[in-house]
Amino acid sequence: MQVKLEGVKKIYGSRTVLDLEELIVEEGCLFGIIGPNGAGKSTLLNIMAGIDAQTEGKVYYGTDRTEITPYRDITLVFQSPYLLRTTVEKNIAYPLKLRGWQENMLRERVEELMEDLDLTRLRKQKAWTLSSGEMQKVALARALSFRPKLLLLDEPTANIDPATTGEIERMLKKINEQEGTTVVIITHNLSQAKRICGNTAMLHKGRLVETGPAALMLKDPENPLTKAFIDGELLS
Ligand SMILES: Nc1ncnc2c1ncn2[C@@H]1O[C@H](COP(=O)(O)OP(=O)(O)OP(=O)(O)O)[C@@H](O)[C@H]1O
Ligand SMILES: [Mg+2]
């Protein structure tokens, strides 16, 4: 699902924390958002998800450019997942129950996701007893259960080991390539952005500094701020 932001601002009191002339996330892309702490990345993602309202500007979804947030087709995964106090399989099945899926289709979908993310052996385990990597995989499986058209992820692998990060990255690539799901991921892991993202956007102080193909932009950025950020310098 395409998302287009026009003149979007978020202002707290006298502070403008997000100020974007235009940003387009094309349908079917795997889009990375990078930038220092406080740049406005989460604010941007939350506005795209419809859980936060912009102070000014418009957000359009899909090619028919509706301004109504299509909540049923969007899902957001946080750095620290919030899981229901029940088993792994019931967590994953929950959005499907809410949507009234038939029991046999629901079972099939849950099995498939547990298989893909190596969660089958944990199916009966209570969510609060899982490790943080396992929790994040359950959160991702649950987010993907109903085949969202737009998947938004806010630093989903920030506290996750390389092997589990790899599993999550493979899953994101798979649903993006095979199901055409549009994915937007915030990450501080620039190697991750290089590995999985098609396009990236660099934010700084609420503004879009640079956007372009990840492979190019992260190797040879045009903007000095992006270069400094990639080189690990502290940006003022
Ligand atoms: N409810 C709020 N009231 C006031 N200021 C806020 C509020 N929420 C966020 N901000 C400010 O907006 C700015 C952008 O925050 P945001 O969380 O979007 O940054 P971020 O790029 O996601 O940073 P990080 O990499 O640390 O997660 C920050 O300076 C933050 O203090
Ligand atoms: Mg953030």
CA distance 220 to 167: 28
Q: How far is CA 220 from the centre of its chain?
A: 25
- Answer yes or no: is 160 within a domain: yes
Residues for the chain: how many in total?
Answer: 236
Position 90 in a domain: no
- Report the pLDDT value the prediction gives residue 64, as an integer from 0 to 100: 85
Q: Would you say residue 180 has pLDDT above 80?
A: yes
As a whole number of angstroms, the distance between CA 117 and CA 222 comes to 37
pTM confidence score: 0.96
Whichever domain contains 172, its CATH number is: 3.40.50.300
Task: Give the confidence band of 18 by pLDDT, cuts at 50, 70, 90.
Answer: very high
Per DSSP, 236 falls in state -
Q: How many angstroms from the chain centroid is the CA of residue 58? A: 20
Structural domain harbouring 62: 3-82+148-230
Q: How far is the CA of 37 from the centre of ligand 2 (A)?
A: 7
Residue to substitute in 43, 45, 204, 209 for testing ligand 1 pocket (most ligand atoms within 8 angstroms of CB):
43
Q: Are 157 and 123 in contact (CB under 8 A)?
A: no
**Ligand 2 midpoint to CA 38 (Å):** 7
| Non-local CB neighbours of 7 within 8 Å, separated by 6+ positions | 20, 21, 22, 56, 57, 58
Model confidence band, residue 227 (pLDDT cutoffs 50, 70, 90):
very high
For ligand 1, pick from 9, 18, 41 the residue to mutate: most ligand atoms within 8 Å of CB. Answer: 41
Question: How far, in Å, are 111, 159, 176, 179, 196 from residue 183 at the CA level?
Answer: 23, 20, 7, 11, 10
Q: Is 118 part of any domain?
A: no
* Domains: count for the chain: 1
Cα diameter, the chain = 55
Whether residue 47 has its Cβ less than 6 Å from ligand 1: no
User: pLDDT tens across 86-108, in order?
Assistant: 999 999 999 999 999 999 999 99
> From the CA of 93, how far away is ligand 2's center (Å)?
28
Q: Does residue 7 belong to any structural domain of this protein?
A: yes
Ligand sitting nearest the alpha carbon of 17: 1
Packing angle of the helix pair 88-98, 132-144 (nearest 10 deg): 20
Which ligand 1 atom is at minimum distance from the Cα of 188?
25
pLDDT in tens, 107-146: 999 999 999 999 999 999 999 999 999 999 999 999 999 9
Within a domain: 201: yes
pLDDT surpasses 80 at 170: yes
What's the 176 CA to ligand 1 centre distance in angstroms? Answer: 28
- Residue 95 resides in a domain: no
User: Does the residue 103 lie in any domain?
Assistant: no
In a domain, 206, yes or no: yes
